[in-house]
Structure 1
Amino acid sequence: MKLGYHLGYWQSGPPEGALEAILAAEDLGFDSVWTAEGYGSDALTPLAWWGASTSRVKLGTNIVQMSARTPTAVGMSALTLDHLSGGRFVLGLGVSGPQVVEGWYGQPYPKPLARTRQYVDIVRKVVARSEPVTSDGPFYPLPLDGGTGLGKPLKSTVHPLREEIPIYLAAEGPKNVSLAAEICDGWLPLFFSPKSDAFYRAALEEGFARAGARRTAEDFEVAASVPVIVHEDVETAASFIKPSLALYIGGMGAKEVNFHHDVYARLGYGDVADKVQELYLSGRKQEAAAAIPTSLVEDTALIGPPGKIRDELARWEGTVVTTLLLRGNADTLRQVAPVLS
């Protein structure tokens, strides 16, 4: 299983030591480095800025939010970063959730699956540059219906370094995971557990079996974000992760629509997820974190002494996951890499 480094999105400002950690990941033999965006920092600028100091690792977005840019704009960015990186760019896309899509970007959220299908198709047309880009819609009609009536099909002035750039899709629900297997080159799960492997394996197989699917299970990438905390005390290790889980389970999304909450409910933690959400949305964030059992953390993370992590790693190696995406600073990566190798 390959290792990647996930820088994530910024908090109140640029993460301290980001470049040092990225260079450490490359020196340690990591396969890839990834950036993200929420509603603050964007994913593309840090990837280009810090990625310019690397020479080998793949440079990916995990994720670019589709509502933030038109598909042709993302195609332009993909073409540009692929040239600048010498063919190392991986485009990770995701729909985000209705709070961000409609509240931050002012775009409609309904029909995310159909919207994703058309979006990816247009991006691929931009990158391939085989003909002027057109799309019948309904979400991204090209040329635009109405307006001045002067729009015409265009193709990029820039010739691609690669006529196909890998596209991975972030997904948590089974229908979206199946779509990733059908139209993309990889899947980016956020909260994966070996216990859910059969569930997601079936969703992926459904996508691979569809007519025109791009990949098979043998050449499809699954890059999962997995917290890894090496510490002699398991409870202490879990305490570093619980506040973040409380945020995602409890507050990252509306009460009616929170895909992260649903992931843990499917894992058998429905009552816990409901309680965490109730506490978090009422402003009791510390209590929300305290309500998360360590067993829940262990299901989607690797924590504890090195021997325990090595033993549990075997469960992950038997899953659909092909790459573990780690987080932390340079010292964390240097500490964790030998344990996972």
Structure 2
Amino acid sequence: MRLSVSLGLWQDRPPEEALETARAADAAGYPELWIGEMATWDAFALGTAIGASTSLSLTFGPLAVTVRDPATIAMGVASVAALTGRETGVALGTSSDVVVRGWHGRSRDRAATALEESAVAVRQLLGGAKSTVDGSVVGSQGYRLRLPAPKSPLTIAAFGPRALDVAARHADRMVVNLVSPAAAASLVEGLHAAASRAGTAPPPVAAWVVGAVDPSEAAIEQLRRGVVGYLAAPGYADMFRAEGFGDLVDFARTRPHPRELLAAVPVEAIAAVGLLGSRDAIARKIADFAAAGIDELAIVPATSDNDPGGARTLTTISSAAGADPA
């Protein structure tokens, strides 16, 4: 099982802790860091700082394809590669209504089409070609990177059937987020079916999983906050119901006050989709994900005053995996 690290960008922690997590990942021997883009950091600015102070390879995203266009994505990835000398990759996804419509005032209509068109254009640009995509939602024509083309691998975030089709046709890697081993197995099966229809070889699959070794109450509260937004979401609700949390899903769909829903989330719901507890419990869960067909786990470490930056969690998970993270 390959391991990597993804920044949690937790809203209850100091923003600068992202740099501490990056240094902890580097020190623990993880080869790659995923840098998403949420409410705080510009991903490429943060990546430049991290790339200058660690030896990690960097993957940006998943970036929302109806927020960032292919040319700006390619410029950002190439800029960090040129300024830091680090290997770079990029992940594309469709993100959520809250981020796309609410924060950025953009439309998520035809998001799967935008994902495919962006994948084609971003691959052209990062490979050093002039862009030729005249998409119905997004595109890029006539632009070529002036910086050295980093030839970065392309990851596609997928959960629904149309995104699986895009991943099968265009991805060097697929990533899934916050899934149980059973849900992961279903998505891997869906990817293989999509690849068979497309006549392509299915790419490897990574899963973003939260991690916390013997978590404190503060860390558990942090992880609860990371789960609540998914409980009533299409697809995710079915997953949590299948894991035995149907009453919790039903409660979430009544749209209770966020504090009430947060308090109702049991630690077992977090453990269903993450690496939580003792070293032995984490080792068993890693084996479950491997048996589900997951090739890589991208660890999103909980951080707290008891484990600043998630350093202890990252070191223990690396040990529990039984091998070098690479």
Report the TM-score range of the alignment, normalised by the length of the smaller protein.
0.7 to 0.9
Deviations 1:57-77 (A, max 9, x none): 221123222222211111112
In structure 1, the residue matched to 2:153 is: 166
Q: Which residue of 2 aligns with 1:298?
A: 271
Structure 2 match to 1:53? 53
Question: Is 1:324 matched with 2:305?
Answer: no
Looking at structure 1, the residues matched to 140 and 5 of structure 2 have their Cα atoms a distance apart, in angstroms, of 37
Given that 1:9 and 1:43 are in contact with CA atoms closer than 8 Å, whether structure 2 keeps it comes out as no
**Do the aligned residues in 2 keep the contact of 1:276 with 1:289 (CA within 8 Å)?**
no
| Structure-1 separation of matches of 2:218 and 2:24 | 25
Amino acid at match of 1:331: R
1:43–1:63 contact (8 Å) kept in structure 2: no
Using the alignment, how far apart are the partners of 2:181 and 2:226 within structure 1?
A: 20
In structure 2, what is the Cα distance between the partners aligned to 1:182 and 1:78?
Answer: 22
CA RMSD, 1 decimal? 2.8
Give the equivalent residue in structure 2 for 1:334: 315
Q: Identify which of structures 1 and 2 has the higher relative contact order when contacts are C-alpha pairs closer than 8 Å and 6+ apart.
A: 2
Answer yes or no: is the 8 Å Cα contact 1:4–1:325 preserved in 2.
yes
| Residue in structure 1 matched with residue 306 of structure 2 by the alignment | none
Separation (CA, whole Å) in 1 of partners of 2:99 and 2:126: 27
For the pair shown, which has the larger CA radius of gyration, 1 or 2? 1
**1:314 counterpart (281, 287, 290):** 287
Per-residue deviation at 1:141?
Answer: 5.0
Spell out, residue by residue over 1:14-37, the C-alpha distance to the aligned partner (whole angstroms, 9 max, x if none): 534433332221221112111111
The verdict on how the C-alpha distance between 1:142 and 1:194 changes in structure 2, with shifts beyond 3 A counting, is closer
Q: Report the counterpart of residue 139 of structure 1 in structure 2.
A: 137
Unaligned runs of at least 5 residues, structure 2: 304-308
Paired residues in the alignment total 314
Q: Please identify runs of 4+ aligned residues in structure 1 that moved more than 6 A.
A: none
- For residues 134-213 of structure 1, what are the structure 2 equivalents within 5 Å? 134-140=132-138, 142=140, 153-162=142-151, 165-211=152-198, 213=200
In structure 2, the partner of 1:264 is 240
- The equivalent of 1:254 in structure 2 is none
Q: In the superposition, relative to structure 1, how do residues 174 and 156 fare at CA in structure 2: closer, same or farther (>3 Å)?
A: same
| Contact 2:28 2:315 (8 Å CA) reproduced | yes
- How many angstroms apart in 2 are the aligned matches of 1:154 and 1:173? 31
**Would the alpha carbon gap of residues 177 and 310 (structure 1) be closer, same or farther in structure 2, given more than 3 Å must change?**
same
Tell me whether 14-23 or 44-53 shows the greater mean CA deviation.
Answer: 14-23
Structure 1 partner of 2:123 = 124
> What is the Cα deviation at residue 323 of structure 1?
2.0
1:249 aligns with 2:222: no
The alignment partner of 2:3 has SS state of strand
The answer on whether the counterparts of 1:232 and 1:305 sit within 8 Å (CA) in structure 2 is: no
Q: 1:228 to 1:104 in 2, by over 3 A?
A: closer
Check whether the contact 2:71–2:140 (CA below 8 A) recurs between aligned residues: no
* Cα pair distance change 1:264/1:171, threshold 3 Å: farther
Contact persistence 1:230–1:304 (CA under 8 A): yes
Letter in 1 for 2:231: I
Contact 1:188 1:224 in 2 (8 A): yes
C-alpha distance in 2, partners of 1:272/1:282?
11
Superposition TM-score, scaled by structure 1 size: 0.80
- What TM-score does the superposition give when structure 2 sets the normalisation length? 0.84
How far apart, CA to CA, are the structure 1 residues paired with 2:282 and 2:139?
49
SS of equivalent residue, structure 2 residue 38: coil
Q: What amino acid is the match of 2:135?
A: G
Residue number among 249, 270, 275 corresponding to 1:273 in the alignment: 249
Q: Secondary structure at the match of 2:7?
A: strand
What letter matches 1:308 in structure 2?
A
3-state SS of 1:106 partner: coil
Partner of 2:257: 283
Deviations 1:70-124 (A, max 9, x none): 1111111222223344351110111112332222222221111111111111111
Partner Cα distance (2:193, 2:162) in 1 = 9
Corresponding residue of 2:114 = 115
Higher mean C-alpha displacement, 75-84 vs 10-19? 10-19
Residues 316/338 of structure 1: CA separation in 2 closer, same or farther (3 Å cut): same
Distance 2:218 2:118 in 1: 43
Q: Matched residues in 1 for 2:85 and 2:214: separation?
A: 38
2:8 aligned partner, one-letter code? G
Amino acid corresponding to residue 28 of structure 1 in structure 2: A
Counterpart of 2:210? Answer: 227
Quote the Cα distance in structure 2 between the aligned partners of 1:232 and 1:263: 24
Q: How far, CA to CA, are the matches of 2:86 and 2:215 in structure 1? A: 41
**1:246-266 Cα deviation digits (max 9, x unpaired):** 24436xxxxxx6564454346
Aligned AA (1:119):
S
> Quick one: distance in 2 between partners of 1:128 and 1:311?
40
How big is the shift at 1:300?
A: 0.8
